[in-house]
Every structure is written in structure tokens, then in C-alpha cells.
């Protein structure tokens, strides 16, 4: 029960890494505030969390919009006693080189992958400051550390997440607020399945994704959730500004 009596807001909670973290954090005693754009996914993860006997609050919202973020924090504040953990996990993975990336795609990528973290953190940090501290965890990517083809906007956005994480970590280190980021490699999630399905030969595409992993396999959302649990728990209370790779050797 590493998170007993803690309250965690998790964005991008409906599937993949976010869903796995909702389930694991709940199993470790946390009250979960699950945030996602997809109402069906939210309902599904909430049902699974409630089976553990842990409180879960769901908020359907687009975290790239300030009004939605204000509503998330307002709903959370009205229904839980405090907020201790913010996991900024919502993100999208656009495909393409720079000359193939439309301005709209670029703007949406930066809004969801970076601006959302600014908005959520801006809303939650004053609560942390008032109550003597808290933990923020951001999801970056292994592609922020090692380039792959056709990920220009995505990699740029995830590089920005690392820079933001380090800036926030040093800004709030004396306020009891720890800020770290995860850099997952290729993780077998519904998001990846949708991207593979868009290829002319999804099976061949999957083989290529696996081939670039030195361990010879894809990671699982549950493995990433365990790393996230460590970083938000008291076991990591001396860790801030960390860029935590969990990528099967992809960036070695």
C-alpha cells in the first residue's frame, strides 16, 4: 500500500499506460481521479478500479484546453480532501516528417503533449504549495532521446516535456514538489495497435517495431506503471528532475 491515503490525478487514463497506472495506483491504496477524452474508456477503467474497492472519480475533458483543466481541478477539489500526485500522461502520436506535417497537426501535437502539462501543472502546483508539497510525473518518450523516422512533431513535443520537467524540478525543489518524467520505448497499447492497423501490412510493421527493441519484444503498460509507481511513491523521495528510461535498451 505504497500510496495509501494519497489522491492521484491521472490524465490519458482510459487506455494503455494511463489505465495500467489507474489500476496499480488504486491497488496501492490511492484514490484516483481519472481523466480522459473518451467517455467509454473512462467508464471501463472506473469499473475496473471500483472492483478493487478504491474510490475513483472520472472527468471527461480535453486537457489541452484551460477551461477543461480548471473544471478537472475544481471537480477533484470538491470531491477529495487533497491532491498529492499529478500524472501528466495524455498524449498523441502523429506520424510524418516535417514537410508532411500540417500546421494543424503540429499545433494539436504541442497542445496535447506539452501545453496540457503546463495547464495541469499550473492548476495543481498552487495546491501543492499550499499543502507543503506533492509529486508531478510527466510522460515523455524514448524518441526524445533517440530519433526514429517519421516522428518529427512527436519527438519535438516529447523533447519539450523533458525540458519542462527539469525546469519545474529546479523551480520547486525547495517547496517539497518533486517533478520527474518517464521515457517509455515502444509499448504494446491500444494506441500502438491503432497505428499499426494504419500500415499496409500491420504484421510486418509490428515486426519492424519489435526489431528496433534490443530486448526483442515490446514493453507492456504494466511495466511502465510499475516505474511510475516508484517515481510517485515515497521510495523516490530523493528523486527529482529525473529522465527515467523504460525502453528495453532502445536508447543504450
Which positions are annotated as active-site residues?
A: 154
Q: What 8-state DSSP symbol labels residue 113?
A: I
Grid coordinates given for 36: 480522459
Compute the distance between CA of residue 145 and CA of residue 230 in angstroms, rounded to an integer.
Answer: 21
Residues for the chain: how many in total?
Answer: 252
Contacts 24+ apart (CB under 8 A), 72-77: 72/9, 72/33, 72/35, 72/120, 72/123, 73/9, 73/123, 73/124, 73/127, 75/33, 76/7, 76/9, 76/33, 77/127
Q: Which of 215, 195, 191 is nearest to 205 (CA)?
A: 195
Query: Is the separation of the CB atoms in 123 and 63 below 8 Å?
Result: no
Q: What 8-state DSSP symbol labels residue 175?
A: G
Compute the distance between CA of residue 90 and CA of residue 104 in angstroms, rounded to an integer.
Answer: 18
CA angle 149, 152, 155 (to 5 degrees): 95
> Strand pairing of 177-184 and 243-246?
parallel
Amino acid at each position: 500500500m505504497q500510496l495509501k491515503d494519497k489522491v492521484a490525478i491521472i490524465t490519458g487514463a482510459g487506455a494503455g499506460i494511463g489505465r495500467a497506472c489507474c489500476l496499480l495506483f488504486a491497488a496501492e491504496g490511492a484514490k484516483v481521479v481519472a481523466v480522459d477524452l473518451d467517455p467509454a474508456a473512462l467508464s471501463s477503467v472506473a469499473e475496473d478500479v471500483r472492483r478493487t474497492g478504491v474510490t475513483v472519480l472520472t472527468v471527461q475533458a480535453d486537457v489541452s484546453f484551460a477551461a477543461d483543466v480548471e473544471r478537472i481541478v475544481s471537480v477533484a477539489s470538491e470531491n477529495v480532501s487533497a491532491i498529492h500526485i499529478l500524472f501528466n500522461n495524455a498524449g498523441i502520436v502523429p506520424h510524418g516528417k516535417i514537410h508532411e506535417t500540417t500546421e494543424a497537426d503540429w499545433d494539436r501535437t504541442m497542445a496535447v503533449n506539452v501545453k496540457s502539462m503546463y495547464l495541469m501543472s499550473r492548476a495543481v502546483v498552487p495546491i501543492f504549495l499550499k499543502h507543503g508539497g506533492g509529486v508531478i510525473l510527466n510522460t515523455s518518450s524514448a524518441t526524445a532521446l533517440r530519433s526514429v523516422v517519421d516522428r518529427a512533431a512527436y519527438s519535438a513535443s516529447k523533447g519539450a516535456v523533458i525540458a519542462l520537467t527539469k525546469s519545474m524540478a529546479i523551480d520547486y525543489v525547495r517547496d517539497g514538489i518533486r517533478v520527474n518524467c518517464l521515457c517509455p520505448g515502444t509499448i504494446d497499447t491500444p494506441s500502438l495497435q491503432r497505428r499499426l492497423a494504419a500500415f499496409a501490412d500491420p504484421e510486418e510493421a509490428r515486426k519492424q517495431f519489435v526489431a528496433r527493441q534490443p530486448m526483442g519484444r515490446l514493453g507492456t503498460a504494466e511495466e511502465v506503471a510499475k516505474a511510475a509507481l516508484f517515481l510517485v511513491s515515497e521510495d523516490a523521495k530523493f528523486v527529482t528532475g529525473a529522465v527515467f528510461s523504460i525502453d528495453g535498451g532502445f536508447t543504450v
